[in-house]
Amino acid sequence: MIYKRSSALFAEAKKYIPGGVNSPVRAFKAVGGDPIFVKEAKGAYLYDEDGNKLIDYIASWGPMILGHAFEPVINAIIDKAKKGTSFGMPTEIETELAKLAVSMVPNIDKIRFVNSGTEACMSAVRLARGYTGKDKIIKFAGCYHGHSDSFLIQAGSGAVTFGSPNSPGVTQGTAKDTLLAAYNNLEEVSALVHANKGEIAAIIIEPVAGNMGCIVPTDTFIKGLRELCTAEGILLIFDEVMTGFRLGKGGAQEVLGIKADIVTFGKVIGGGLPVGAFAAKTEIMNQLAPDGPVYQAGTLSGNPLAMSAGLAMLTELNNRPEIFDSLAKKTEFLHEGISKVLNKKGVPHQINRFGSMISVHFTDEPVVDFESSAKGNNDRFNSYFHGMLNQGIYLPPSAFESYFLNDALSYADLEKTIKAVEKLSF
């Protein structure tokens, strides 16, 4: 495929935007080459500035679960935009979306809307600290919770791509209050908790990780976290920015059967528009201003465009729960097809999958945490990525990212993807 216009647009962008992109992973630094500039998208397909049609496996990093330009969502945005785009005042639709979200997700009573997943996770940690009166948090190597200072301590995805997970600009004071553990390692978490007895406000985790590839928690690990937090008076925060309303109506809490104390959302809850949210039981949420002392605010929080898109999206998912099973089956089909081809070619690999999230790792060892994910053959992944792209398949441009399937993908699309793997030389 030819990408002359994309390359020209990238060269122009670099004159005015740092790195030519507004989010680092888009720059293709991990895989080499110039990024693809998208002109439009519909259903399961992207159409780039060079006129190429690509099967999309990132779905805007998750939110386009029903496919791009899903008509009910687009119509809701258009109708609302005609009445004004932002007021900085309360609107009825905020309550409508809040009521629907609370009805779909277990173990939450109230929800507050913000503008991004980063803001949601940052606010959730502040709330946890305010509620418990403690300062420290535990996060997991390879989990990404946005670019707030507290979280850029061995983060995944874009941070790993550049080999500098500890970003300059994060102070030593912030770093000392962030304790780091290995994913799926309950013993390590327990040791940290007991070494910092009475000082830990919260443990924050991607319940199914998506920023070191798709990493599934073991049953012992995730249940053990819940038991440990309960015993030690620590709040368990589930970062469901990726998994919320994607793995099921109630997200990872429902699918894993684990109750978190605070849950963060993004992606799907705004129908693809900039949005985030955090939610918990009334006792915890009432600590937020104006009811309580923990301050959080935002002029664009709950803006009518994002709320209308989110309401249309969540209404569709609530009314059609069979979507989650359908997506899981498509993901299983893709998993089995790719694995069969790679086995036939004798290519060492691991494929991790949960619901509609999946990742391919070029290693012969199980991928269960950041360390094992980092052992993958990046040169082979880069060759795989570009080989698939040249056949019209758009995969995440990093070995440390999960794929996200969307409902518009057909089995013909999946079969074309599997056949594209067959044509590759490893």
Q: Worst-scoring range by mean pLDDT, 145-154, 156-165, 312-321, 413-422?
A: 156-165
Mean pLDDT of the 313-322 span: 97
Q: Where in the chain is the domain with CATH 3.40.640.10?
A: 71-319
Mean pLDDT of the 330-347 span: 98
Burial class (CB in 10 A: 0-12, 13-18, 19+), 293: exposed
Is residue 162 pLDDT above 50, yes or no? Answer: no
Mean pLDDT of the 370-397 span: 96
Contact 259, 237 (CB under 8 A): no
pLDDT for 292-310, tens place per residue? Answer: 999 999 999 999 999 999 9
Topology annotation, domain 4-69+321-422: Aspartate Aminotransferase, domain 1 (3.90.1150)
Contact 247, 355 (CB under 8 A): yes
Class of domain 71-319: alpha beta
* The CA-based dihedral angle spanning residues 155, 26, 388, 12, taken in that order and rounded to the nearest 10 degrees: -160
Share of the chain above pLDDT 70, in %: 95
pLDDT band at 157 (very low <50, low <70, confident <90, very high): very low
Between the CA of residue 358 and those of 58, 71, 218, 308, 349, what are the distances in Å?
10, 26, 16, 29, 13
Contact 404, 59 (CB under 8 A): yes
What pLDDT is stored for residue 167 in this prediction? 62
What pLDDT is stored for residue 147 in this prediction? 78
Give the CA angle between residues 73, 78, 82 to the nearest 5°: 150
Mean pLDDT of the 98-127 span: 97
pLDDT band at 2 (very low <50, low <70, confident <90, very high): confident
* DSSP secondary structure of 77-146: HHHHHTT-S--SS--HHHHHHHHHHHHHSTT-SEEEEESSHHHHHHHHHHHHHHHH---EEEEETT----
Nearest-CA neighbor of 250 among 355, 114, 115? 355
Please state whether the predicted TM-score (pTM) of the whole model is above 0.75: yes
Mean pLDDT for all residues in the chain: 93
Catalytic residues: 144, 239, 267
What pLDDT is stored for residue 161 in this prediction? 35
Q: Where in the chain is the domain with CATH 3.90.1150.10?
A: 4-69+321-422
* DSSP secondary structure of 214-235: -BPPPHHHHHHHHHHHHHHT-E
What pLDDT is stored for residue 153 in this prediction? 65
3-state secondary structure of 351: strand
Is residue 131 pLDDT above 70, yes or no? Answer: yes
Mean pLDDT of the 272-280 span: 96
What pLDDT is stored for residue 160 in this prediction? 38
pLDDT band at 1 (very low <50, low <70, confident <90, very high): confident
